[in-house]
């Protein structure tokens, strides 16, 4: 296989009523927070708690992958990322809203 896709998914907790208070903080690592992006502002930056999941997928199609091959790899990667959200990981993320880490 000649191509590989690496996926990173960051989960942030954004407090209720935060609005745009977090804007301007680390904008380069918060897609959608700048006024020049398509679609405008995506919301406040996350608070201290962040969890990153990562996954790598081989892209089928050898040296000449098609758009469909890339789509297949993206779909498989999303499925594999979702499988990483175990009950323990979910409980950890849900605890952020009450001050848990």
pTM: 0.70
Mean per-residue pLDDT, 26-54: 63
When divided into structural domains, the chain yields a total of: 1
Q: Is 90 exposed, middle or buried (0-12, 13-18, 19+ CB in 10 A)?
A: exposed
Domain that holds residue 47: 3-98
Mean per-residue pLDDT, 36-55: 68
| Residue whose C-alpha is closest to residue 97's, from 26, 47, 42 | 47
pLDDT of 13 > 90? The answer is no
Give the pLDDT band of residue 39 (cuts 50, 70, 90): very low
Q: Is 96 exposed, middle or buried (0-12, 13-18, 19+ CB in 10 A)?
A: buried
66: its two tokens: 């098609």
């Amino acid at each position: 296989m000649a191509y590989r896709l690496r996926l990173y998914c960051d989960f942030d907790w954004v407090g209720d009523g935060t609005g745009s208070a977090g804007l301007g903080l680390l904008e380069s690592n918060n897609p959608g927070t700048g006024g020049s992006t398509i679609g405008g502002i995506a919301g406040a930056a996350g608070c201290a708690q962040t969890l990153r999941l990562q996954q790598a997928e081989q892209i089928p199609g050898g040296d000449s992958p098609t758009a469909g091959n890339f789509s297949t790899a993206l779909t498989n990667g999303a499925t594999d990322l979702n499988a990483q959200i175990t009950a323990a990981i979910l409980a950890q993320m849900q605890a952020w809203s009450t001050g848990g880490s």
